[in-house]
Chains A and B, each alone.
Chain A
Amino acid sequence: MLEKFRALRAEHAAVSAAGRDPFGVAFDTVLSATEAVLEGRRVLLLGTNNYLGLTFDPDCIEDAAEAVRSLGTGTTGSRIANGTYGGHAALEARLARFLGRRSAMVFTTGYQANLGALAALAGRGDHLLLDADSHASIYDGARLSAAQVTRFRHNDPDDLRRRLRHLSSQPGEKLIVAEGIYSMLGDTAPLREIVEVKREAGAWLLVDEAHSLGVLGESGRGLAEAEGVEAEVDFVVGTFSKSLGAIGGFLASDLDGFDALRLSARAYMFTASLPPSTVASVTRAIEVMEARPELREALRRNGQRLHAGLSAAGFMLGAMPSPIVSLPMPDRERAVLFWNRLLEAGVYANLALGPATPGGKPLLRMSVSALLTPAQIDAAVLAVARTGEALGLIGTALEAAE
């Protein structure tokens, strides 16, 4: 039964042979949003997506603790079977208010939000148009739907337009799916152009703001807010596991009849709902995100500082400054070596390998938190630069990998 994984096992063993298993790092403990302990040593966390650093926010922790004491550890079932707790409905109302949407529904993870939304929205005879660099949850949601799925070139509105033109004679709804910030490189979607194509084709648009919620836009509502096109985005998907520091996902919209999705999105119907503690901390995290715009400003500054520091050190960086900074690696072997050496130097980043990366190319991926101090970022830049120098990867080698 497991024989088919022989090649995968061999690949994993080869990746792990250079040192640690990059996909199985087990911290002794986590100290804060920016530091953890690994094998008795403090390491700087530069690969957490903990954008606003809210995992240790005292108010979020207090509300979560109060909820677990008063309502228990879990709901032990789905909302359609076991019922909705007051907190679930209150969170949905609060989230809808924050997003300026008529309706919102909460899923147990961000992955499930895409699974549930795409599979329910796009049915047989409909068409899903996915950006080629979409997250796995979008691809999986598309596979679960009965719709015809078409990929368009990453961030290429003209390719999207061409494909929609081909599909124009076919019946069924067309739903375009894009992401606010793409997680691997930190680049954003050309949303205004996509909206133009959407209008021309009479299609619908869903934007996954997983990495852009709390990060982009004056109020932190994401890329659609930053680009001024929220009215043209029909569906917003997002997660609570990044800027909001917990776990869970959501779908929001202004459309009439939205609640039918509660009886058709299987990833909502057939899984246990979020526990009261998570609902409480997320509800509070939305308050904190609204009340403290300075966190978003600190995040922006930190992304710029890391980006500028690495550029000055001689690294060639692809995307514009954002909370995600990725270094393209020339090959898998040196990517693994880089990741291991960097961890030895006290910095935890993400090793990203194909097929999860654009073009299947290996990346050393870093993401910053608003709570990182300038000194911590400078220390990280120094460690990355020294590692790059030691491996002969500054300048030419990385440039060649672009």
Chain B
Amino acid sequence: MLDEQAALREITAALEESGKLTGPVTMETSILHDLNLDSVGAIDFVMLLETRLDTVIPMDRMAEIETIGDLVRVLTSQASAAN
């Protein structure tokens, strides 16, 4: 099961891979404001993460995600649900 630190590392690596890493990423980083992703970019980034982590995040859970911390929480709970 993915823990929070591992999830944060994966997110940072995925941002780097997609050329979206602009600086240090913390749990408080806002996906739309700090990462300069629009709503389409944010959804595409989540899809990239889903493939990378071989998991599935249902669309209704997307509404919960504003910060990297929210994304980490969704990822860790999804990973445990999928396993």
Known: A151-B47, A166-B55, A359-B44. A354 touches B60 (CB 8 A): no
Q: Are A159 and B39 in contact (CB under 8 A)?
A: no
Would you give the 0/1 interface string for B69-81, flagging 1 where the beta carbon is closer than 8 Å to chain A?
0000000000000
Contacts from A to B (Cβ < 8 Å): 132, 142, 148-151, 153, 159, 162-163, 166-167, 354-355, 359-360
Q: Are A360 and B40 in contact (CB under 8 A)?
A: yes
Q: Are B59 and A150 in contact (CB under 8 A)?
A: yes
Known: A148-B58, A151-B59. A132 touches B47 (CB 8 A): yes
B43 at the interface (CB under 8 A from A): yes
Name the prevailing secondary structure of the B interface residues.
helix
**CB contact between B60 and one of A148, A159, A166, A360 (< 8 Å): that residue:** A148
Contacts of B56 in A (CB 8 A): 150, 163, 166-167
Q: Are A355 and B58 in contact (CB under 8 A)?
A: no
Known: A162-B54, A166-B82. A149 touches B60 (CB 8 A): yes
B11 nearest CB across to chain A (Å): 19
A sample of 8 cross-chain residue pairs with beta-carbon separation below 8 angstroms, ordered by A number, consists of A148-B58, A150-B59, A151-B43, A151-B47, A153-B47, A162-B54, A359-B40, A360-B38
**What is the interface residue range for chain B against chain A?**
10 to 19
Compute the total of residue contacts between A and B using a CB distance below 8 Å. Answer: 36
Would you give the 0/1 interface string for B34-51, flagging 1 where the beta carbon is closer than 8 Å to chain A?
000011110110010001
Chain A residue at minimum C-beta to C-beta distance from B54 = A162
Contacts of A150 in B (CB 8 A): 56, 58-59
Contacts of A132 in B (CB 8 A): 43-44, 47
Contacts of A166 in B (CB 8 A): 54-56, 82
A104 and B44 alpha carbons, distance in the complex (Å)? 36
Contacts of B47 in A (CB 8 A): 132, 151, 153
A150 and B40 alpha carbons, distance in the complex (Å)? 15
Residue among A149, A150, A151, A166 with max Cβ neighbours from chain B (10 Å): A151
Q: Are B58 and A149 in contact (CB under 8 A)?
A: yes
A171 and B43 alpha carbons, distance in the complex (Å)? 26
Contacts of B41 in A (CB 8 A): 360
A287 nearest CB across to chain B (Å): 41
Contacts of B58 in A (CB 8 A): 148-150
Contacts of B43 in A (CB 8 A): 132, 151
A148 and B43 alpha carbons, distance in the complex (Å)? 16
Q: Which of B11-53 contact A (CB under 8 A)?
A: 38-41, 43-44, 47, 51
Contacts of B44 in A (CB 8 A): 132, 359
B32 nearest CB across to chain A (Å): 12
Chain A residue at minimum C-beta to C-beta distance from B51 = A159
Chain B residue at minimum C-beta to C-beta distance from A356 = B40
Nearest first, the 8 A-B pairs at minimum CB distance are A360-B40, A149-B59, A166-B56, A355-B40, A148-B58, A163-B56, A354-B40, A166-B82
Residue among B41, B43, B59, B60 with max Cβ neighbours from chain A (10 Å): B59
Chain B residue at minimum C-beta to C-beta distance from A149 = B59
A166 and B59 alpha carbons, distance in the complex (Å)? 15
Chain A residue at minimum C-beta to C-beta distance from B48 = A153
A104 and B51 alpha carbons, distance in the complex (Å)? 38
